Structure 1
């Protein structure tokens, strides 16, 4: 099992959040009010004790008025093309979504390093788990595209449940509450692309 704290340090998500918050002269309490996230959770994220899931990062990015890609770009990188080799998706590059509720997925950025992009592509590995309404997310101003590479997922979208199998894809407006779990005998692997309008 990979050392999650080492992953956090590599991606510097907490450092980037603290830097943006301080640049905007916001207290943790003010950022909490802007995002709807608790002050203790924000403190844990900034201190690199917790890696936030994508939905939490989206709330923070809106509160800080930065695009989601800000958390995945290399500040010194001015590339116009990023080629990510399959061999580069080592476990130590995995961003594991962990928080108090322990989200059932891990994700790899497929284009970290590219700056100022509207799309953020990920390879997502989804563990088999039972659906819980705590897995619902919503984020305004975003659209998502999912393509299932392996396994099957149940996509919960509002009051609907869609079984999405290997080879299937789905595109949806992220402002509607949504979430997913892997079903069947194996964990699912999907390509997910988040688009900021």
Structure 2
């Protein structure tokens, strides 16, 4: 797996898109519901945004979330991403607040309604779960380990082989239990 966080440079990509659209940080904050200081930290690569946050930013900037992961976008009906071409996003000490690392699985595809990821969730205390929400739906399939998933007032424990489908507008979060957990996550965002 490539160590491509530095070359991915999410913050610079976001800043360039925001400036291209003549938006201030405050404009983007108003459009996303995120705080101006949080957006500044993201643009300066001090923090890596969780998937849901990146989705809100992408929507506000008028691009699909996959835009941020494309080295060379492919205009085709099919894309193949080889295991050795995948890379992790949100690695390193500056992302400990997120509680997970994610790998985009279909980043070369330009226009798509679904965004699949492999998500590596850290083991953490329930009080440290980070909650996110965004328009759309999500599907999780547990590949390894055990996790707690919380959505609104609901909490469920999922183990290897379990799956979950939910409305992602409701604030949700998860954590590894008894060690890290690895899932396949597919996010659907309506147009």
C-alpha distance after superposition, 1:160-185 (max 9, x if no partner): 1011110011111101111111112x
Correspondence for 2:106: 111
Correspondence for 2:78: 81
Match for 1:195 among 171, 182, 188?
A: 188
Unaligned runs of at least 5 residues, structure 2: none
Report if aligned partners of 1:69, 1:118 keep a CA contact under 8 Å in 2.
no
Report if aligned partners of 1:52, 1:99 keep a CA contact under 8 Å in 2.
no
**SS of the residue 1:193 aligns to:** strand
Correspondence for 1:14: 11
Mapping 1:109-188, distance limit 5 Å: 109-132=104-127, 135-140=130-135, 142-184=136-178, 186-188=179-181
Going from structure 1 to structure 2, the CA distance change for 1:143 and 1:66 (only over 3 Å counts) comes to: same
> Following the alignment from structure 1 to structure 2, what is the Cα–Cα distance between the partners of residues 134 and 99?
16
> Following the alignment from structure 1 to structure 2, what is the Cα–Cα distance between the partners of residues 76 and 189?
27
TM-score, structure 1 as length reference: 0.85
**Offset at residue 103 of structure 1 (A):** 1.3
TM-score, structure 2 as length reference: 0.87
Unaligned runs of at least 5 residues, structure 1: none
Report if aligned partners of 1:67, 1:196 keep a CA contact under 8 Å in 2.
no
Q: Which moved more, 1:98-107 or 1:27-36?
A: 98-107
> Following the alignment from structure 1 to structure 2, what is the Cα–Cα distance between the partners of residues 169 and 149?
9
